[in-house]
Structure 1
Amino acid sequence: MTATRETTPELRAQRPPSSKGAAPAERAATSPARARPRGRLDAATLVGLGAAAGVILVAMASGGSLRAFLDPPSLLIVLGGTLAVTTASFSLGDVASAWGNAGRILVQTSYDPRAVARQVMLLAEAARRAGPEMLKSMLPELKGEPFLHRCVSLITEGPPADDVERMLTAEVEAVTAARAKSAAVLRRASEVAPAMGLIGTLVGLVQMLGGLSDPSTIGPAMALALLTTFYGAVLGNVVLAPLAAKLERNAENEALVQTLYTIGAVSIARQENPRRLEMLLNTLLPPGRRLQYFDKESPRGA
């Protein structure tokens, strides 16, 4: 059977032109920039946290006034104590970075590893047709994707492929370690919050038992005892633990994307055959999401 490349409309729109010359190569070089990820609101996080908060609020309102669940001393113990103990476990910089990353979780950068792998293949074919130097023309279009911009910059600077691999791998490891530390901060905070709630409960019980002779102090002390446990459980299990899990998931996805870019940059620097690059990329993609860029029989994988 004669080997044929995929001919789906989507791939025809993205594959480099078959004609020779600098102009077609330049058009091929600009097409990978279209796969740049875009930030968008993370519906899963917003819906999940909103639904959990809604269920809790409905349960609170159905039994009486919501005002009964507001107690500033309890909030101070749980929020202030959680922040203080978490900071003591790490550093001020680590905690500040973790809270910043937690806020950015709500605006998720959407990465499709298969689209990234196809983008890498387009870059490889463009570089094979016109040489790595022509990739300089697309650097301005890649400023919105810092790691890819770094990869293409290294390729155009012309260092040995081993140096490119070493530098990019070290950068991927550093970013992954930073994301893992931020997730660890949130995970630690999710463990501390219920403990601070328990401490607040003990404080409230001590105050209540010490004021049994004055019935007017029993109510506020009992509220402090119960609400701190409530606040700690909600903060730790409904807010912090899901954010830590989502940050870990996003970090894994980001590491995969950066690894795909690294493999592509090293392959281009070594001037390897794009078929070999396709095989290397497919080793990292899930079975159902692998490229069939050079598939001889089935065009549906484009």
Structure 2
Amino acid sequence: MNLSFIIGIFAGFGLVIYGIMESGTDATQIYNSFINFPSMFITFGGAISATIMSVPVKYLKDIPKNMKVLMKKEKINLNLYIDAIEELAKEARLKGLLILEEKVNQIELKDEFLRYCVMLIVDAIEPTKVRAQIENEIDCIEARHSSAWKVFDTLGSFGPAFGMLGTLIGLINMLANMSADGGAEALGKGMAVALVTTFYGSVLTNMICAPISNRLKAKHDEELVAKELIMEGVLSIQSGENPKYIREKLNSYITYNERGLTSTTNDEESTGKKPKRGLGRKAKA
């Protein structure tokens, strides 16, 4: 489970609620000021209805699947992709590209995009066409993924708008029913009810929609880096480059501290000892 997202959203709502409780005089006043069901219907109901009208039904059906992706904790380990590509490069260098059709199904890393790219070079397609086809596949993946956050971007854009609409409705009703007998007290209560819809709209946009959309975009960017790494690795295999050089080239996609973590872990598991670290280049992890 993605604990950072859970902690963030609970902390955000908790701090807002704490601020509301501290600013109020008593529980009854706070309840009457911030809990207004007609305002909720206008803001949340209106924003959701407008979103349903704005996006295709397919996007709405994908919301549970996208939320499941959002809550995944694991981060893509690019070292595993580099190891797999280096292994494929060694096999191709020794036995030719045709062996990769069998080898790609035997490696521990199961990735359909990697398999798809490898099959393109196994089929002896020209390198320029392979690159064009992979780039087109990445563009299509990006277009499909964008539907995940478009729903929340759209919902977030309607939140403040319907919040303002609710405020206008409240002001109209307040002014229409205002009389000299009520005085400033009645005016203040009416203004509070009118403004609470704007509060709901801000909460919907800034506490719910924007964080979800940004996290989905971050997940997409992370996956896109892995796919670009695969593309460069597969094209390097097709051009017959040295496996060691391919690894060094693909290492540019990760930080210095992340390089070689997989091989270091494997050495520790096989020997039961941590490798000695020296100075200079040997100490680089």
TM-score, structure 1 normalization = 0.70
Deviation of the 1:60 alpha carbon: 3.7
Residue 111 of structure 1: aligned partner = 76
Deviation of the 1:183 alpha carbon: 3.0
Q: Does the 8 Å contact 2:88/2:104 carry over to 1?
A: no
The runs of 5 or more residues in structure 2 that have no matched partner are: 264-279
Instruction: Please state if 1:52 is matched with 2:24.
Output: no
Instruction: Please state if 1:163 is matched with 2:123.
Output: no
Instruction: Please state if 1:236 is matched with 2:205.
Output: yes
Deviation of the 1:74 alpha carbon: 1.9
Deviation of the 1:88 alpha carbon: 4.7
CA distance in 1, matches of 2:35, 2:167: 15
Q: Does the 8 Å contact 2:159/2:204 carry over to 1?
A: yes
Residue by residue over 1:158-215, the C-alpha shift from the partner in whole angstroms, topping out at 9 and shown as x without a partner, is: 4443333222211111112333454344334323212211111111121222223597
Residue 255 of structure 1: aligned partner = 224
CA distance in 2, matches of 1:275, 1:254: 24
CA distance in 1, matches of 2:84, 2:104: 13
Distance 1:126 1:229, change over 3 A: same
Distance 1:199 1:107, change over 3 A: same
Residue 85 of structure 1: aligned partner = 50
The runs of 5 or more residues in structure 1 that have no matched partner are: 1-40
Residue 266 of structure 2: aligned partner = none
Deviation of the 1:233 alpha carbon: 0.9
One-letter amino acid matched to 1:82:
A
CA distance in 2, matches of 1:287, 1:281: 12
Q: Does the residue aligned with 2:105 lie in a helix, a strand or coil?
A: helix
CA distance in 1, matches of 2:154, 2:20: 28
Alignment of 1:1-302 (within 5 A): 41-62=1-22, 63=24, 64=27, 67-68=31-32, 69-97=34-62, 100-135=65-100, 136-139=102-105, 144-212=110-178, 224-286=193-255, 289=258, 298-301=281-284
One-letter amino acid matched to 1:240:
C
CA distance in 2, matches of 1:109, 1:173: 24
CA distance in 1, matches of 2:254, 2:71: 26
More off after superposition, 164-173 vs 178-187: 178-187
Provide the identity percentage. Answer: 27
Q: Does the 8 Å contact 2:174/2:187 carry over to 1?
A: yes
More off after superposition, 242-251 vs 114-123: 114-123
Q: Does the 8 Å contact 1:117/1:291 carry over to 2?
A: no
Residue by residue over 1:207-261, the C-alpha shift from the partner in whole angstroms, topping out at 9 and shown as x without a partner, is: 222223597x989965642321121111111111112222222211111100111
CA distance in 1, matches of 2:194, 2:219: 37
One-letter amino acid matched to 2:235:
V
One-letter amino acid matched to 1:281:
L
Q: Does the residue aligned with 1:139 lie in a helix, a strand or coil?
A: coil
CA distance in 2, matches of 1:299, 1:56: 51
CA distance in 1, matches of 2:44, 2:7: 24
CA distance in 1, matches of 2:108, 2:155: 36
Residue by residue over 1:97-126, the C-alpha shift from the partner in whole angstroms, topping out at 9 and shown as x without a partner, is: 467424521224421334433332233223
More off after superposition, 133-142 vs 232-241: 133-142
Root mean square deviation, CA, Å: 3.5
Distance 1:193 1:127, change over 3 A: same
One-letter amino acid matched to 1:267:
S
